Chains A and B, each alone.
Chain A
Amino acid sequence: MKAFGGSAFFIDRDDINTDEIIPAKYLTEITKRALQPHLLEDLFLDGKEFDTQADDFQQASVLVTRSNFGCGSSREHAVWALEVNDINVVLGESFARIFRQNMFNCGILAVELSKADIDKLFALAQGDGTIKIGIELDKDTVVAENGKGEKVECSFSMNPFDKELVAAGGWLAYADQKY
């Protein structure tokens, strides 16, 4: 199975919705690749426009956020916008149902952690900007490490069916084989 993880980017907000992840005006695109420059371009953080060009965001392959990530529309474009930006894991306290399902259906990870663990990850990020996060799916653990070698390790529980979808490479591959 493919490895999940990499450099992490932290977005400290609840209820980031699908319109913020990918605005509706891009839903007329018929390729996933066309979404690449527009990820999170309508996001506001603390009243300010989010800088989608920031280097650490551009290099991220893991997103760490708060609760109810991906609420709103069913548009899988929101997940594809992450995918074509090489983000393969989102860690959060909770996810909106359709978004979470879309993640696993695409064979990438929506990992739910307790608020306390998410707080620890945010605290780790305070000290050093570069956080690497690795996911060990067979052990249900997340390991985060900063540039100074300080580590945070936490465990999660993931629905075994969601894991099967990821192992199969997504829902279409799974369903085509089984039904």
Chain B
Amino acid sequence: MGQTIAEKIFAAHLRDTPTPENMVLDIDVIMCHEITTPIAIMDLVDKGMDRVIDPKRIKAVIDHVTPAKDSKTATQAKIMRDWARRHKIKDFFDVGRNGVCHALFPEKGFIRPGNTVIMGDSHTCTHGAFGAFAAGVGTTDLEVGILKGVCAFRKPKSMKIEVTGTLPIGVYAKDVILKIIKQLTVNGATDMVMEFCGPVVEQMDMSSRMTLCNMSVEAGATSGLCLPDKVTAEYLWPFIQEDYASLEDAVEDFSTWHSDPDAEYAETLTIDVSDLRPQVTYDYKPDKVKDIDDLAGARIDQVYIGSCTNGRIEDIRAAASILRGRTIADTVRGILTPATPAIYSQALDEGLIKIFMDAGFCVLNPTCGACLGMSSGVLAEGESCASTTNRNFNGRMGKGGMVHLMSPLCAAAAAVTGEITDPAQFIN
């Protein structure tokens, strides 16, 4: 019988099978940020186990609150910084070089098809866009990863998600994944790996694939995955050109990480996106999703464009296409947070930052920022935010606030009008 990509990756990394259902895997990349890692570091120090399996396999960033906003966040950052120096972790990114982990680490070329990746962050599934098995874990799993280079998972069950048809103008990966979460509900993919495939996914760039995989955890999935192909190889080419004689060789090598045609799936979902409307969430769960037409006119106090879901250059370009030559509504606060310094710099080069600033946006440094209400951009009670982020839980962006998840295009349209708005009227 054939294998899915997840089964192939698990087989290639298998260290132990404590039971037939549980697999302990060797982990290729262990990623760390300053919210969930300092407690792991301190616990290891307390227990006399202040070691790392291999500094080259560890990547670390300060991204959730940066620069530090108070003594507590300064302490968290210091624990990370001292630890990285102590263990000679070269890939450590501090103020000025730091960005949102799931945007920064792919940009640095840290993930390869077939890799196993863990991080103490639920949106680690983003890295599945490269054909890796990437899963969010808690601090104890992270601790064991740092110390031993292993992590335990249940035997993978895969869900095949085939995206067919043609995406209408103004409809993006964000709309596709919101629609999928609506169909599956918030626990429809629990304990499963969501494998995104089909012609629409094949045509997507890496940024869009990352958006899809990023939100797979919102349906409860262990991870999301895309099959690595020419698009993946082109993205990674600057980092792999010494490993392969040609791009074609890389593509062929990557194809060993494709699911076999006779692989078995626990479930299959086919979604035709040809008539898909822009999707927007209401209420406090990411599966509470409606067509934009059903929510048009709802008041918006803040617009947030950024995060590991939609803070990449492609997202900023899309939003800027609407903001160019326009100003945002007087009643709206617009916040742009480019996800990494490279994205910020690119947006400067392309004149996009000026478009946002001329429109009336405030531009923040790369950070997770308002997404989880830990630093700038927190909502007051009763306020609502049109946001390109991934989670709309009650209190997420501030107690009593409401977050409407949507694409960058929809968020830009909401900024212009001050209410949830179909971006079609602004698209040339």
A, B bound:
yes
B49-91 contacts to A (CB < 8 Å): 49, 64-65, 70, 72-73, 75-76, 79
A–B pairs, 8, beta carbons within 8 Å: A25-B373, A67-B187, A68-B186, A68-B190, A74-B36, A74-B137, A161-B18, A176-B49
Q: Does B315 lie at the interface of the complex (its beta carbon under 8 Å from any beta carbon of A)?
A: no
With a cutoff of 8 Å between Cβ atoms, the chain B residues found around residue A160 in the complex are 19
With a cutoff of 8 Å between Cβ atoms, the chain A residues found around residue B147 in the complex are 172, 175-176
With a cutoff of 8 Å between Cβ atoms, the chain A residues found around residue B191 in the complex are 97
Partner of B396, one of A19, A68, A79, A161: A19
Q: Taking A160-B19, A175-B147, A176-B49 as contacts, is the C-beta distance between A19 and B140 under 8 angstroms?
A: no
Indicate if the CB atoms of B374 and A75 lie closer than 8 Å.
Answer: no
Kindly report which residue of chain B lies nearest to residue A17, judged by CB atoms.
B393
Indicate if the CB atoms of A71 and B187 lie closer than 8 Å.
Answer: yes
Partner of A74, one of B16, B38, B65, B121: B121
Indicate if the CB atoms of A179 and B42 lie closer than 8 Å.
Answer: no
Q: Taking A76-B139, A97-B220 as contacts, is the C-beta distance between A159 and B187 under 8 angstroms?
A: no
Indicate if the CB atoms of B152 and A161 lie closer than 8 Å.
Answer: yes
Indicate if the CB atoms of B73 and A28 lie closer than 8 Å.
Answer: yes
Partner of A159, one of B19, B39, B139, B222: B19
With a cutoff of 8 Å between Cβ atoms, the chain B residues found around residue A98 in the complex are 122, 136-138
Indicate if the CB atoms of B35 and A27 lie closer than 8 Å.
Answer: yes
* Cα separation A106 to B137 with both chains bound (whole Å): 13
With a cutoff of 8 Å between Cβ atoms, the chain B residues found around residue A75 in the complex are 35-36, 138
Q: Taking A75-B138, A176-B148 as contacts, is the C-beta distance between A20 and B143 under 8 angstroms?
A: no
Return B29 CB to nearest CB of chain A, in Å: 16
| Residues in chain A within 8 A of chain B (CB atoms) | 15, 17, 19-20, 23-25, 27-30, 32, 42, 44, 67-68, 71-76, 79, 94, 96-98, 101-102, 105-106, 159-161, 164, 170-172, 175-176, 178-179
* Cα separation A144 to B249 with both chains bound (whole Å): 62
Interface size classification for chain B: 35 or more
Q: Does B13 lie at the interface of the complex (its beta carbon under 8 Å from any beta carbon of A)?
A: no
Return A45 CB to nearest CB of chain B, in Å: 11
Indicate if the CB atoms of B140 and A105 lie closer than 8 Å.
Answer: yes
Q: Does B201 lie at the interface of the complex (its beta carbon under 8 Å from any beta carbon of A)?
A: no
With a cutoff of 8 Å between Cβ atoms, the chain B residues found around residue A176 in the complex are 49, 147-148
* Cα separation A174 to B37 with both chains bound (whole Å): 20
Q: Taking A27-B35, A172-B140 as contacts, is the C-beta distance between A20 and B393 under 8 angstroms?
A: yes
Residues 31-43 of chain B, each 1 if its beta carbon lies under 8 Å from chain A, else 0: 0000110110011
Indicate if the CB atoms of B122 and A30 lie closer than 8 Å.
Answer: no
Q: Does B97 lie at the interface of the complex (its beta carbon under 8 Å from any beta carbon of A)?
A: no
Return A13 CB to nearest CB of chain B, in Å: 11
List 13 additional A-B contacts (Cβ < 8 Å) besides A30-B42, A101-B138, A102-B138: A17-B393, A25-B374, A27-B36, A27-B374, A28-B374, A29-B72, A30-B72, A30-B79, A42-B395, A101-B152, A106-B140, A161-B22, A171-B144
* Cα separation A27 to B374 with both chains bound (whole Å): 8
Partner of B15, one of A101, A172, A179: A179
Residues 126-146 of chain B, each 1 if its beta carbon lies under 8 Å from chain A, else 0: 000000000011111101100
Q: Does B394 lie at the interface of the complex (its beta carbon under 8 Å from any beta carbon of A)?
A: yes
Q: Taking A19-B395, A25-B373 as contacts, is the C-beta distance between A68 and B144 under 8 angstroms?
A: no
